[in-house]
Amino acid sequence: MELKIRNLSKTYANGVVALDRVTLTIPAGMFGLLGPNGAGKSTLMRILATLQECDSGSVFLDDIDVLDEKDAVRRMLGYLPQDFGVYPKVTAYELLDHFAQLKGLSHKGRRREVVDGLLQQVNLWEVRNQRLGGFSGGMRQRFGIAQALLGDPRLIIVDEPTAGLDPQERVRFHNLLSDIGEDKTVILSTHIVSDVADLCANMAIIHKGHVLLCGDPQELTYEIEDYIWARIVTKQELPMFQKRHQVISTRLLTGRTLIHVYSESDPGDGFEPARASLEDVYFATIAGRFNAAAGDC
């Protein structure tokens, strides 16, 4: 199954251009859509989920016109939005059973099998009779995945699913998404680079409504390998280095500042070659420093 997005555009009434002729081909498996807050990710996800109209462009899921055949898309779609609300006084089992009925699972015995199986799959079976208001953020997200899997969807969209989760819950969620992505198309929209690095075989970087880069995360990291240099500086030295070099990222390390710069040759000033990461690809692309030969998006 393949999702083809061509020249998709969306401008809001206040003049904000959320998407500007976005073109992407998304194959089966885990696909990461990576970008900062406000990049247009959520707008794109809502359009793909048939919840919002675009201004122009086309989207096809194999031979199904996503923009015109919304009912057909919804029958094969699972969606976990960025803000997934629950009824706090209802138990996990009751609400998932209710969602299953809305999905058309009218036969009580079959519905029970499906609900039981999904709660076990997302590791919520032991707490199925607890009210959702007492769930942690990670438990609510896993419940959100359970409802997204109702109806055995072919396309699953998850929007910022790990934001705010503690490290242990992020690992649980990663494992769950990895299992799901083996036989479905899963679009992971996020601003967290490590989510894409850990989970996705294909990705795209979007910024200010434009797709800047797409490809295999490992191949993109390999392409930038020889252009990343690093050194540790003091807080007082940082402005000077930012003026003299193409600094793409900074972070604290044992109380001092580790900076990475993008340069096609040795930048001098005590910089040493650094092992590149997908984070370097991301920051260099957003900064307009890196344009990989990764092929057509």
Domain with 58 in it: what CATH number?
Answer: 3.40.50.300
Is residue 126 domain-shared with residue 32, that is, in the same domain?
yes
Is residue 7 domain-shared with residue 151, that is, in the same domain?
yes
Separation between Cα atoms, residue 10 and residue 39, nearest integer Å = 12
User: Would you mind telling me the total number of residues written for the chain in this entry?
Assistant: 297
Q: Cβ distance 155 to 27 under 8 Å?
A: no
Output the average pLDDT for the chain. Answer: 92
Q: Which of 80, 222, 194 is nearest to 138 (CA)?
A: 80
For residue 294, being part of any structural domain is answered with no
Domain end point (choices 172, 190, 214): 214
Domain end point (choices 193, 214, 235): 214
Domain end point (choices 183, 214, 245): 214
Is residue 59 domain-shared with residue 203, that is, in the same domain?
yes
The answer to whether residue 293 scores a pLDDT higher than 80 is no
Is residue 55 domain-shared with residue 172, that is, in the same domain?
yes
- The domain of 240 spans 221-286
The answer to whether residue 217 scores a pLDDT higher than 60 is yes
Is residue 44 domain-shared with residue 170, that is, in the same domain?
yes
For residue 36, being part of any structural domain is answered with yes
Counts of helices then strands in the chain (DSSP H, E):
10, 14
Beginning with the edge strand found earlier in the chain, give each strand of the sheet holding 64-65 in spatial order.
17-26, 3-11, 56-61, 64-65
For residue 179, being part of any structural domain is answered with yes
Domain count within the chain: 2
Is residue 242 domain-shared with residue 200, that is, in the same domain?
no
By three-state DSSP, how is residue 112 classified? Answer: helix
Is residue 172 domain-shared with residue 210, that is, in the same domain?
yes
For residue 38, being part of any structural domain is answered with yes
Separation between Cα atoms, residue 231 and residue 214, nearest integer Å = 29
Is residue 141 domain-shared with residue 246, that is, in the same domain?
no
For residue 297, being part of any structural domain is answered with no
Is residue 125 domain-shared with residue 194, that is, in the same domain?
yes
**Range name among 18-27, 55-64, 160-169 with the lowest pLDDT average:** 160-169
The answer to whether residue 294 scores a pLDDT higher than 60 is no
For residue 241, being part of any structural domain is answered with yes
Is residue 138 domain-shared with residue 245, that is, in the same domain?
no
pLDDT bin (cut points 50, 70, 90) of residue 76 is very high
pLDDT bin (cut points 50, 70, 90) of residue 296 is low
Is residue 61 domain-shared with residue 88, that is, in the same domain?
yes
